[in-house]
Amino acid sequence: MPAVSRQVSRLVPERTLKTGIVDGVWQGIKYRGGTGHLAFIGHRLSGLGTLLFLIIHVVETSAVYFKPEFYAEVVASYQHPVFMLGEIGLVAAVLFHGLNGLRIIAFDWKPDLWSPEREHFWSLVVFGATFALWLPAAFVMGRSLYLHSILMEPAPAAITPEQVGTGWANVAVILLVAAGLLVAFAASARPGSGRQAAIKPTLETRMWMFMRYSGVLLIPLAYGHVMIKDILHGVHLINLAYVELYWRFLGWRIYDAALLSFALAHGAYGLKQVTEDYVHAPLRLRLTKYAILAGWLIVTAMGAIALVGGVGATLS
């Protein structure tokens, strides 16, 4: 082994063997790997961006229970044009991450269907579909930004119970159940012909499966949340009264609980996988993983307490 290590060190520059975070990211960006590589980079960036927003969103929403007045201040700041532009970008990130995730899952389950040509073709399909789905959403959100945050026209009237009532809540539950059935079907499906031998279950293999199943489940959950909150209703309608009305219905609490648990776990494990590619020192990597685990537990607990406690539970 020492002889092999000496040969490798002569053939490969030391700076490529000990790539740091900055160098690793830059090498990944400038590597000319075609559309498949661009999709890989886009998947990671969109996933990290979505996770960052999700953490902020969960912490901010949990304030409806812990400190309602803080929530009101934060939500009001989201009506600033800069934040609204960020939400328009968020829609693109969610769309791309979900569609590209489906592409990855499809080739994982049927590896015999993969080829460089199909990789190139379906990567282009993902980019095109993302843009086609994002454009109408960007128009609706951009119009709201222009009218209410630039021209300062009065925001729409407060939302009514009928707009978030039993009908919407039932739709949410139906979507959740349908997604669960889809995941169960995928779990029971036979693996592709490319898998010749059974793999002994370990924590890593179970988490690999979880990332695929949760990815499928998050398609209706995350897309539905973005569609309703960011596009149909919009940030100008969201306030404490909106959340209180929204959470009157059990269906919406179940919906948000599923989104909270699956999205945060999916994002935290994805962050752990990205970290392993750029942090190589054993102690630093171990501490980083512990920090990710602790952050996931804390943020999930905050969101769960708010979901159970409701709006203004701490107000006298």
Distance (Å, rounded) from C-alpha 74 to C-alpha 51?
A: 19
Average pLDDT, the chain: 82
Residue 292: φ, ψ to 5°: -65, -45
Contact by Cβ (8 Å): 172, 254: yes
DSSP string, the chain: -HHHHHHHHHHS-HHHHT--HHHHHHHHHH---HHHHHHHHHHHHHHHHHHHHHHHHHHHHHHHHH-HHHHHHHHHHTTSHHHHHHHHHHHHHHHHHHHHHHHHHHHHH-GGG--HHHHHHHHHHHHHHHHHHHHHHHHHHHHHIIIIIIS-PPPPPPPPHHHHSHHHHHHHHHHHHHHHHHHHHHHHSPPPTT--SPPPP-HHHHHHHHHHHHHHHHHHHHHHHHIIIIIII-GGG-SHHHHHHHTTSHHHHHHHHHHHHHHHHHHHHHHHHHHHHH--SHHHHHHHHHHHHHHHHHHHHHHHHHHHH-TTTT--
pLDDT of amino acid 30: 63
Distance (Å, rounded) from C-alpha 230 to C-alpha 185?
A: 31
- Segment 265-290 mean pLDDT: 94
* Residue type (1 letter), 215: G
Band of pLDDT at residue 31, cut at 50, 70 and 90:
low
192: left (phi over 0), alpha (psi -120 to 50) or beta: beta
- Segment 35-55 mean pLDDT: 93
Between 46 and 164, the more confident residue is: 46
- Segment 55-70 mean pLDDT: 93
Distance (Å, rounded) from C-alpha 258 to C-alpha 176?
A: 8
Task: Report the Cα–Cα distance between both ends of the chain, in Å, rounded.
Answer: 69
Band of pLDDT at residue 251, cut at 50, 70 and 90:
confident
pLDDT of amino acid 89: 95
Distance (Å, rounded) from C-alpha 268 to C-alpha 260?
A: 12
pTM of the full structure:
0.82
Tens digit of each residue's pLDDT (9 = 90 or more) over 86-117: 999 999 999 999 999 999 999 988 889 899 89
Band of pLDDT at residue 311, cut at 50, 70 and 90:
confident
The percent of residues above 90 in pLDDT, for the chain, comes to 44
Between 60 and 201, the more confident residue is: 60
- Segment 241-250 mean pLDDT: 86
Domains along the chain with CATH numbers: 35-190+202-309 (1.20.1300)
Check pLDDT > 90 for residue 140.
Answer: yes
Q: How many CB atoms lie within 10 A of CB 169?
A: 19
pLDDT of amino acid 32: 65
The interaxial angle of helices 81-109 and 34-66, nearest 10 deg, is 120
Contact by Cβ (8 Å): 141, 87: yes
Between 42 and 154, the more confident residue is: 42
pLDDT of amino acid 5: 43
pLDDT of amino acid 14: 41
pLDDT of amino acid 148: 87
Band of pLDDT at residue 234, cut at 50, 70 and 90:
confident
pLDDT of amino acid 34: 79
The encoded tokens of residue 220 equal: 């209706």
